[in-house]
Chains A and B, each alone.
Chain A
């Protein structure tokens, strides 16, 4: 009796405390989970954190006299972070060693050029020889200086008929390839990326966006608008890229935010592109949906936190994982080289790891750096064990170490049982070990029909070979039994016929 009373009171305590615990757990600052992934049914699945905030740097923690003013862009080379403090006409060079970040240099002017002072620098790039390229936007140039800031050359408005309509050359984002060619996204230029040779000559455009228009709008303009109305609305023009990044293989990743949000899911919007040197998009999309960020959103409205993900920047890790920075909800999306989402995290809330105006992302090894141009903060993320395991497993697979990669995926599954890619990875390894039945289980968990079919074919072959006798007997039975029955029927009929005739004769 006493024991029962204890049990009952304990239960009561638990029942009263559990709701409190849940309430506290729910008030952690985010409306839903921070890190998540999508399952096969497009449902959002909570996941362990792939990245954690290491530190958030702001003007005071960097020890800057003049606080940051709408910084636009980041660049990372080795251990140096270059931060374009656009509003203050300067570039801040920060050295990161271990977890310590110190400002080593503040670039406001260059030497040996007619125009020395920088004016709204909006992007920069540092090549392997430490030469610095700066998009000096309001000086209408991209200027290249050596590591001591001595002027080398500048890329200015091309003397070309295609630029006749453009009043001034306003480079906003650019990349430089290994041989020194410069690809520029300039404001008011919508023919694609402006391409300069290393000797500063202009050689054309690559990767022009296609013109975006819809049928209804076209018909409306063509037949229902007066000439005056038509001249007042904007023409159908191709859109500009938002940001560019060049990966180790020399392919340019470009993000685009001007698209029809209904085109996203059936892969007609191309928010992320990987351009080859002809300007063709060669991004691999092997998932059910193209890499578009969030799969579920409220249609765009005046609220900036609604609508589809809009990638303001992108960075590519050394293992070909690319990470896109979504400005709509301040989120980061990691995709592997096959276009499969590895994880997503982030929020718009004003907490560490949340962004209001996410402007730029860069990486230093596996660490990620994100610049918020409204909060004027630089957030540094480091991967957790979970995030590291995901990278490790996919790198092992790329190197051909299939069995160790399966073991790593098993570790991932221990932390996140909803991770599709892990099931697929284990399945592929099991199939190589010819354990088809287990492989089928894992492929089914990953909803991978093609590989399941492959494993199933081997499984079926083995099954039929083992049970050949039974199969033969059943097929034979199916064929022979009706034959015998028919034969018996005929015999019966013959007997009756014979008897009938004899009876008649006897009469």
Chain B
């Protein structure tokens, strides 16, 4: 805290008090969160301004991601059993979160790694923010759908399924437009880099697997080495 304040004090505009700064930060956070509603309805302008006009914020992006993960888990737990086949006795919340968060981050990293070599304009922060903002329709549609699932019957499932489909398609479309605007690419180049991103993610996962298996081998070697010494000497 002290480091932050000291840095802030060196700013050329010291006239602002602490409470005012907090207030300004808070209102900016709320504004950037509200801006997500503009983004999902006007994706082309919205994503451009999100990154290039500084309308979004990392805090809002993180909030959206957390909300997305919560929606996912609430959906597994509270959707009426007619519409979801989730074995509640086996659901592990951390496993669910990890299985969404890790691919998300790996795909962001892979996209950044690919596009940064081929004059993509987006920084990693921009890509992450755009991807998070693209998740908003999922939250907005799926949360009410959890409620809806508890008041409709098995025969009326088509209504539920259509809205489910819309929420996913909307998200995918937003992610596509988001990448296009963030990197200032054309549609074709974006599609090519989508495939490249998936490929890159596979490479990253492969490298991680190798790394961890080597690490565990090394650790195992050291452990057995120490054990052997202990066994011989004592």
| A263 at the binding interface (Cβ < 8 Å) | no
Task: Establish whether residues A453 and B151, one from each chain, have CB atoms under 8 Å apart when the complex forms.
Answer: no
Q: How far does the Cβ of B87 sit from chain A's closest Cβ, in whole Å?
A: 5
User: Beta-carbon contacts of B72-100 to A below 8 Å, as 1s and 0s?
Assistant: 00000000011000010110000000000
Task: Establish whether residues B87 and A452, one from each chain, have CB atoms under 8 Å apart when the complex forms.
Answer: no
In whole angstroms, how far apart are the Cα atoms of A117 and B154 in the complex? 65
- Identify B154's interface contact among A41, A444, A452, A460, CB under 8 A: A452
In whole angstroms, how far apart are the Cα atoms of A460 and B149 in the complex? 13
User: Beta-carbon contacts of A444-467 to B below 8 Å, as 1s and 0s?
Assistant: 100101101110110010000000
Count chain A CB atoms within 10 A of each CB in B81, B82, B87, B90 and give the residue with the most. B82
Task: Establish whether residues B81 and A457, one from each chain, have CB atoms under 8 Å apart when the complex forms.
Answer: no
Task: Establish whether residues A453 and B87, one from each chain, have CB atoms under 8 Å apart when the complex forms.
Answer: no
In whole angstroms, how far apart are the Cα atoms of A41 and B153 in the complex? 22
Task: Establish whether residues A460 and B153, one from each chain, have CB atoms under 8 Å apart when the complex forms.
Answer: yes
In whole angstroms, how far apart are the Cα atoms of A454 and B81 in the complex? 14
A41 touching B87 in the complex, CB below 8 Å, given contacts A452-B82, A453-B82: yes
Task: Establish whether residues B155 and A460, one from each chain, have CB atoms under 8 Å apart when the complex forms.
Answer: no
| Interface set, chain A 52-90, CB cutoff 8 A to B | none
Contacts of B89 in A (CB 8 A): 41
The contact size tier of chain A is 10 to 19
Task: Establish whether residues B154 and A449, one from each chain, have CB atoms under 8 Å apart when the complex forms.
Answer: yes
Q: How far does the Cβ of B111 sit from chain A's closest Cβ, in whole Å?
A: 36
The contact size tier of chain B is under 10
- Identify B153's interface contact among A444, A447, A456, CB under 8 A: A456
Contacts of B154 in A (CB 8 A): 449-450, 452-454, 456
Task: Establish whether residues B81 and A444, one from each chain, have CB atoms under 8 Å apart when the complex forms.
Answer: yes
Count chain A CB atoms within 10 A of each CB in B90, B151, B153, B155 and give the residue with the most. B153
Tally of contacts, chain A with chain B, CB under 8 A:
25
In whole angstroms, how far apart are the Cα atoms of A453 and B153 in the complex? 5
7 inter-chain pairs at a CB distance below 8 angstroms, sorted by A residue, are A41-B90, A449-B81, A449-B82, A453-B153, A454-B153, A456-B82, A460-B151
**Minimum-distance CB pairs A-B, first 6:** A453-B154, A453-B153, A449-B82, A457-B153, A449-B154, A456-B153
Contacts of A457 in B (CB 8 A): 153, 155
Contacts of A444 in B (CB 8 A): 81
Contacts of A456 in B (CB 8 A): 82, 153-154
User: Beta-carbon contacts of A401-417 to B below 8 Å, as 1s and 0s?
Assistant: 00000000000000000
Residue in A closest to B81 when the chains form the complex, CB atoms: A444
In whole angstroms, how far apart are the Cα atoms of A454 and B155 in the complex? 8
Q: How far does the Cβ of A285 sit from chain B's closest Cβ, in whole Å?
A: 19
| Interface set, chain A 14-61, CB cutoff 8 A to B | 41
In whole angstroms, how far apart are the Cα atoms of A297 and B90 in the complex? 21
In whole angstroms, how far apart are the Cα atoms of A408 and B137 in the complex? 50
In whole angstroms, how far apart are the Cα atoms of A453 and B89 in the complex? 22
Q: How far does the Cβ of A40 sit from chain B's closest Cβ, in whole Å?
A: 8
Task: Establish whether residues A447 and B81, one from each chain, have CB atoms under 8 Å apart when the complex forms.
Answer: yes
Residue in A closest to B151 when the chains form the complex, CB atoms: A460
In whole angstroms, how far apart are the Cα atoms of A478 and B34 in the complex? 23
Count chain A CB atoms within 10 A of each CB in B89, B154, B155 and give the residue with the most. B154
Q: How far does the Cβ of A413 sit from chain B's closest Cβ, in whole Å?
A: 19
Q: How far does the Cβ of A289 sit from chain B's closest Cβ, in whole Å?
A: 14
| Interface set, chain A 444-503, CB cutoff 8 A to B | 444, 447, 449-450, 452-454, 456-457, 460
Contacts of A460 in B (CB 8 A): 151, 153
In whole angstroms, how far apart are the Cα atoms of A353 and B131 in the complex? 61
Contacts of A41 in B (CB 8 A): 87, 89-90
Residue in A closest to B154 when the chains form the complex, CB atoms: A453
Q: How far does the Cβ of B79 sit from chain A's closest Cβ, in whole Å?
A: 12
Contacts of A453 in B (CB 8 A): 82, 153-155
Question: With A454-B153, A457-B153 given, can you name 6 additional A-B contacts, CB distance below 8 Å?
Answer: A41-B89, A449-B81, A449-B154, A450-B154, A453-B153, A453-B154
Q: How far does the Cβ of B147 sit from chain A's closest Cβ, in whole Å?
A: 14
In whole angstroms, how far apart are the Cα atoms of A460 and B82 in the complex? 15
Residue in B closest to A450 when the chains form the complex, CB atoms: B154
User: Beta-carbon contacts of A423-454 to B below 8 Å, as 1s and 0s?
Assistant: 00000000000000000000010010110111
In whole angstroms, how far apart are the Cα atoms of A460 and B155 in the complex? 14
Contacts of B87 in A (CB 8 A): 41
In whole angstroms, how far apart are the Cα atoms of A41 and B88 in the complex? 11
Q: How far does the Cβ of B156 sit from chain A's closest Cβ, in whole Å?
A: 8
